[in-house]
Amino acid sequence: MHSPENQTRYLLLVAGLGGLLYGIDVGIIAGALPYLEASAVQLWKLSSQQLGFVVAAVLLGSVLSSLAAGALAEAWGRKKIMFISGLLFSLSIPVIALADGYVPLLLGRLLQGVSGGLIGVVVPLYLAESLPAAVRGRGTAIFQLLLTIGLVLAAAIGLLVAHQVEQAAHEAPAALQAVQDAAWRRIFWLSLAPGLLFTAGVVWLAESPRWLLAHGRTADALQALRRTRPAAEADAELAAIDGAGESRTSSKGSSADSLLQRRYVLPFLLACLILACNQATGINSVLAYAVTILDQGGLSGSMGNVGDFALKLLNALVTVLAVILVDRKGRKFLLMLGSGGIVVSLLAAALLFRIAESGQSDAGAALSQRIQDNALQLDAPALRALAGGEDYQLDIAYSYGPLTQVRSLRPGDALRITPPDSVEGDSVIGAAFRQMHLNPFPDMNASLQAPLQIERARIGPRPQAAHGWLLLACLLGFIASFAVGPGVCVWLALSELMPTRIRSNGMSIALLVNQFVSTVLAAVFLPVVSLQGYAPMFFFWAGCTVVYFLAATFLLPETRGKTLEEINRHFAYK
């Protein structure tokens, strides 16, 4: 029961649960967003920008916690920070599910993000420092595998709830709003159990042997190594770690061992570049907005949820293949293969959206002329006459001052835009910071007196289901390419490239860059596509991925089968 093999399996199981939570963090909003949007816009009068903040809040919370995760892991140990991250995730679920307005919803999502940021730094760090070199690639890839399973679980929950909502809409249309409000809350409640399991499982883990040795606890470090290695192998590895000369380096360093040496600077900059490019592929935005993207491309209703589930299931299946290949083919090969496939898939999706959007015409001037009493109301026959056909789609972005909203209307829908009588989202603290010119966000109360402006309105034939299936095929290619390379290898790049002396803080900063890029992309996604369309967003992601391919090809060293100390020496003599 206590053999090294069993201890290694338990370590991977618990660490994998951390990946599961990270996947739920990212994926749960995709299934909940359509119902949250319907509920929030109707009940709380939220703008599209505020909804974007709700989606991006997890990523913003990750940015904030990633900044401190390395220092906390260095001071308190990897095990304690993993326990705290699981506890924070478990606490975030009731805060979100019981939210009665914008502020508690945003705070709950931020708390969930803080948990995700800690997990994203500390779990790969713990795996890299605790696993033998021969299985480190597969072991760290387990984190990504469970992350993808978390995405599948989130998508499955969303699909189940979508069918329940559709059934309720047919049986009791008058109660649809209440059903939608209950639906997104139920989606979050169902994700509580993994958080509790991870938190409990961490209690029986050993601390990282490298952290123990760095803090002068040699006997404990040897005991931790012997839990996952034969005694002779553990003794030899302890001597190798201690002989590398970094395990006991003072945090202050010395003039002879400056942190500006190339063996520290080069791997740090390379890790930051790899992690920034990893998010600039648009992966988190695609996963978070998958249902919305597919709906816009021609797969409406529950079919969008089916597509979302297919994307996340494929992500998990291909990640299994990547786990098998990562210690056989190497990190560099898989990153080149994956980033190349991503470029092709994104360009194909962008061209599909360009074709669909080229068939739409500008209806902004026509709608602006019909504004009366600061409101705009058109029934279904009027919209059909404006479209000039029976099968159409109207995408409209409008604003009352800082309150911007986006809507997509289909045949049979009526357009009713009225001035807001109340708004959510400002606070006493926000107003106080705004007076000091420290709050970059506008006062939402200004929308109560602002005139109605049509920011963008495009009307034309709705993309057919065949177009939607082609788009889904492109997204499946994107997900498969990401899963086989960047999805797994990014965590290895994050944990393997950093020398021991800077690993915890260096990983923290690199993941901060990663989450900052992801947060910006998620926050601007809805405003950008509402004003510019979807094609420019996909073209931009493709361009960023070209940079990723070049970095993997010309800058990244192969780390397969090497100890962390051997990788460190590569940069020292480069």
Residue 269 tokens read as: 């900059």
Range scoring the smallest mean pLDDT among 75-89, 152-166, 341-355, 460-474: 152-166
The pLDDT tens digits of the residues spanning 30-87 come to 677 777 777 766 667 666 667 767 777 777 787 778 778 878 888 898 899 999 999 9
Query: Sorting pLDDT into bands at 50, 70 and 90, what band is 573?
Result: low
Please name every residue paired with 400 in a beta bridge, in sequence order, or none if there are none.
403, 452
More confident residue, 521 or 46: 521
More confident residue, 259 or 118: 118
User: What pLDDT, on the 0 to 100 scale, is given for residue 100?
Assistant: 81
| The pairing of beta strand 393-400 with beta strand 415-417 | unpaired
User: What pLDDT, on the 0 to 100 scale, is given for residue 253?
Assistant: 43
Mean per-residue pLDDT for 366-378?
Answer: 89
Average pLDDT, the chain: 80
Burial grade of 371 (CB within 10 A; 0-12, 13-18, 19 or more):
middle
User: What pLDDT, on the 0 to 100 scale, is given for residue 338?
Assistant: 93
The pLDDT tens digits of the residues spanning 462-472 come to 788 888 899 99
Residue with the two structure tokens 């209307």: 409
Task: Report the 10 Å Cβ neighbour count for 74.
Answer: 19
User: What pLDDT, on the 0 to 100 scale, is given for residue 250?
Assistant: 40
User: What pLDDT, on the 0 to 100 scale, is given for residue 252?
Assistant: 43
Q: By C-alpha distance, which of 154, 53, 63 is closest to 106?
A: 53
User: What pLDDT, on the 0 to 100 scale, is given for residue 249?
Assistant: 45
The pLDDT tens digits of the residues spanning 471-492 come to 999 999 999 999 998 888 777 7
CA angle 137, 143, 83 (to 5 degrees): 125
Residues 6+ apart with CB under 8 A from 164: 179, 183
Range scoring the smallest mean pLDDT among 43-57, 195-209, 225-239: 43-57
Q: What distance in Å separates the CA atoms of residue 9 and residue 416, rounded to the nearest whole number?
A: 57
Residue type, 503: R
Q: What is the DSSP string of 129-186?
A: HHS-HHHHHHHHHHHHHHHHHHHHHHHHHHHHHHHHHHHHHHH-GGGHHHHHHHHHHH
Q: Which helix (H) or strand (E) holds 404?
A: strand 403-409
More confident residue, 246 or 11: 11
> Is the predicted pLDDT of residue 339 greater than 90, yes or no?
yes
Length of the chain (residues): 574
The pLDDT tens digits of the residues spanning 379-435 come to 888 888 888 877 777 888 888 887 777 777 778 788 888 888 766 555 544 555 556
> Is the predicted pLDDT of residue 123 greater than 60, yes or no?
yes
Q: What distance in Å separates the CA atoms of residue 163 and residue 13, rounded to the nearest whole number?
A: 32
User: What pLDDT, on the 0 to 100 scale, is given for residue 142?
Assistant: 78
User: Domain residue spans in the chain?
Assistant: 4-205+260-354+467-572, 206-249, 361-418+428-460
CATH topology of domain 4-205+260-354+467-572: Growth Hormone; Chain: A; (1.20.1250)
The pLDDT tens digits of the residues spanning 486-517 come to 888 777 776 677 776 777 777 778 777 877 88
